[in-house]
């Protein structure tokens, strides 16, 4: 296929969390770079964050009433069959009216009805699975999908091997070139160029355990001359900043949210992070030594599985959530005093990076349309 003004109609469905939405937007942008005349329509779940994030990125989105089943028996669960039927009807209508050349599902509630309706109509469908552990919706839809783009090796445990394309997760472009930004980054955050920098990121809402572990160890870090660049998340910011001020420790920099992530990564000597699929993909491109503290509050414990896929390749360290408060300090200190270990982790994690993920997914889309 070539980009001589060809126009294609693409539906991208799914969402629910940033982990689904940001890859979806990256795929849309990569497609539009090659085929600027194309129409891309998103389909999300009403009330979920994609209904805000997708229009902000400049794309149209339609919402379905679909919601997930709660683990407990609730009134919401009783309404589930009705929401599902309503969503299937609307998905069928959207597909009839928009008449797409291809439908892409990125996981999350909305991708189910849309891919199902597209498959029933015999349209080509592509699944993009971000995690090392396949979600239920994607597993159910995989047998009738034409291709499945994955971010981890060994995904034939969940999907038909002949349909798998190992493309990686699309991540934001600005973090691809951080090598020469260190001096600028240190001055941007007001950091001391002579002292090691620990970067802690727990997602935009924050991760309670990471925050508690850092509060527990910050005096120790100060005494060792370490600096901490710390994204607390909006839920924990006020409380954290009050505690940091009250303790009068130096070199600890709590921020509610770090907008310039490329600079934060460039400044860091080591990174402490949750292991959501996108964080893991992003950190492999960054190539810094990482300590993953997987969130225990996610479906099927998939953050532990994501982290272990890297730990098994000697590309990261892992610390259990329940042990983080006591163990984080010693683990950070042992890593910051062992240059050889840091180099080894950096080299190994870079080998797992997939910088061209969005373009590679576009190639698979092209093959399916042909």
Known binding site: residues?
Answer: 17-19, 131, 172, 204, 258, 277-282, 303
Annotated binding residues for UDP-N-acetyl-alpha-D-glucosamine? 17-19, 131, 172, 204, 258, 277-282, 303
Sheet containing 164-166: order of strands: 60-64, 39-45, 9-13, 102-105, 125-129, 147-150, 164-166
What's the rounded Cα separation, in Å, for the pair 291 and 302?
Answer: 16
Q: How many CB atoms lie within 10 A of CB 354?
A: 17
Measured CA distances, 329 to 205, 210, 267 (Å): 23, 11, 20
Q: How many CB atoms lie within 10 A of CB 323?
A: 13
What's the rounded Cα separation, in Å, for the pair 280 and 265?
Answer: 13
Q: How many CB atoms lie within 10 A of CB 79?
A: 13
What's the rounded Cα separation, in Å, for the pair 105 and 1?
Answer: 22
> What's the token pair of residue 71?
């683990």
Torsion angle, alpha carbons of 181, 187, 188, 189, to 10? 110
> What's the token pair of residue 108?
């999350």
> What's the token pair of residue 358?
């969005």
Measured CA distances, 50 to 59, 86, 233 (Å): 11, 19, 19
The torsion angles phi and psi of 270, rounded to 5 degrees, stand at -140, 160
Check if the beta carbon of residue 170 is closer than 8 Å to that of residue 363.
no
Measured CA distances, 256 to 187, 204, 222, 229, 259 (Å): 19, 8, 21, 11, 10
């Amino acid at each position: 296929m070539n980009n001589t003004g060809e126009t294609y109609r693409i539906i991208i469905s799914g969402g629910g969390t940033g982990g689904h939405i940001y890859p979806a937007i990256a795929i849309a942008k990569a497609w539009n770079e090659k085929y600027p005349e194309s129409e891309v329509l998103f389909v999300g779940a009403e009330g979920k964050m994609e209904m805000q994030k997708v229009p902000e990125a400049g794309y149209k989105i339609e919402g379905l009433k679909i919601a997930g089943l709660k683990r407990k028996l609730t009134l919401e669960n009783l309404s589930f069959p009705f929401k599902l039927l309503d969503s299937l009807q609307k998905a069928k209508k959207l597909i009839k009216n928009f008449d797409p050349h291809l439908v892409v599902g990125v996981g999350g509630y909305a991708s189910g009805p849309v891919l199902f309706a597209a498959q029933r109509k015999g349209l080509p469908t592509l699944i993009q699975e971000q995690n090392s552990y396949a979600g239920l919706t994607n597993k159910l839809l995989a047998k009738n999908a034409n291709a499945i783009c994955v971010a981890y090796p060994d995904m034939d445990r969940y999907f038909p091997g002949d349909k798998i394309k190992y493309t990686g997760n699309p991540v934001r472009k600005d973090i691809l070139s951080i090598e020469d930004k260190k001096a600028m980054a240190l001055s941007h955050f007001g950091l001391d160029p002579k002292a090691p920098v620990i970067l802690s990121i727990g997602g935009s809402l924050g991760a309670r355990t990471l925050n508690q572990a850092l509060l527990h160890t910050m005096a120790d870090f100060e005494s060792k001359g370490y600096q901490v660049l710390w994204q607390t998340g909006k839920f924990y910011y006020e409380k954290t900043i009050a505690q940091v001020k009250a303790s009068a420790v130096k070199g600890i920099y709590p921020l509610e949210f770090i907008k310039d992530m490329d600079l934060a990564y460039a400044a860091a000597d080591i990174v402490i992070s949750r292991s959501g699929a996108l964080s893991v993909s992003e950190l492999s491109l960054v190539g810094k030594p990482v300590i993953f503290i997987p969130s225990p509050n996610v479906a099927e414990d998939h953050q532990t599985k994501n982290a272990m896929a890297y730990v098994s390749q000697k590309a990261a360290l892992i610390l259990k959530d329940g042990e983080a408060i006591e163990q984080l300090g010693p683990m950070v200190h042992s890593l910051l005093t062992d240059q050889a270990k840091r180099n080894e982790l950096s080299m190994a994690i870079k080998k797992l990076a997939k910088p061209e993920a969005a373009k590679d997914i576009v190639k698979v889309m092209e093959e399916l349309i042909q």
